[in-house]
Amino acid sequence: MGDVLTRDAKVALIASYASKPEQIVNLLFRLQRTSKQHYIDQKTAQLVSDHLKIPVSGVYELCSYYPILNVKPQAKYMLKLCNAAPCTLVGGEMIRQTLEAVLGVPEDTVTEDGLFAYKSVGGLGACDQAPFIKVGTKVFGHLDETKTKQLVHDLQNGHYDHEI
């Protein structure tokens, strides 16, 4: 996947922050938003370094410090599971195993097509819909194996792109 901004457009954006070093996180976030895989790639980090006269290691330090910034390609759809006991007891683990089998990657790993990754996190606040998968702000609740496979299929086909 390529980036939305050309190199020249990135340079122009970076240059517009030359006199505002205190806003570098905003700049990095804006650059990240132009990346189809939502991350600061090596070339972009180098451009920031070159044009703002800071070491490239400093750019990466900022990216590591701020959770909103990524240095690795992100999946188009991050599927979140709840790994707290109430959700696990009613089928959360089955959902995780289904995703592992269907997507063919371990947790927190982007599929080869860049579309999916899944992650178990604690307490997503949708206990009443367990077991569920949360994508963006949307909760897909009361899942079983069949519904989970169908959800992956529907996401692959962009079925929910207007909702998440």
Q: Per rule CB under 6 A, is residue 164 in the interface with ligand FES? A: no
Give the range of 25-33, 61-69, 105-113, 119-127 binding ligand FES by CB under 6 A.
119-127
Strands 77-82 and 133-135: antiparallel
Q: Which residues contact 128 (CB under 8 A, 6 or more apart)?
A: 141
Q: Per rule CB under 6 A, is residue 106 in the interface with ligand FES? A: no
Number of neighbours of residue 131 by Cβ within 10 angstroms: 25
Candidates 50, 104, 113, 123; binder of ligand FES (CB under 6 A) is 123
Eight-class DSSP state of 92? I
Candidates 25, 126, 139, 164; binder of ligand FES (CB under 6 A) is 126
Q: Per rule CB under 6 A, is residue 71 in the interface with ligand FES? A: no
Residue 19 CA from chain centroid, whole number: 30
Candidates 69, 87, 95, 152; binder of ligand FES (CB under 6 A) is 87
Largest CA distance in the chain: 55
The pair of three-digit structure tokens given for residue 106, joined into one six-digit string: 């371990």
**In whole angstroms, how close is the CB of 6 to ligand FES at the nearest point?**
43
Q: Rule CB under 6 A: which residues touch ligand FES?
A: 82, 84, 86-87, 123-127, 130
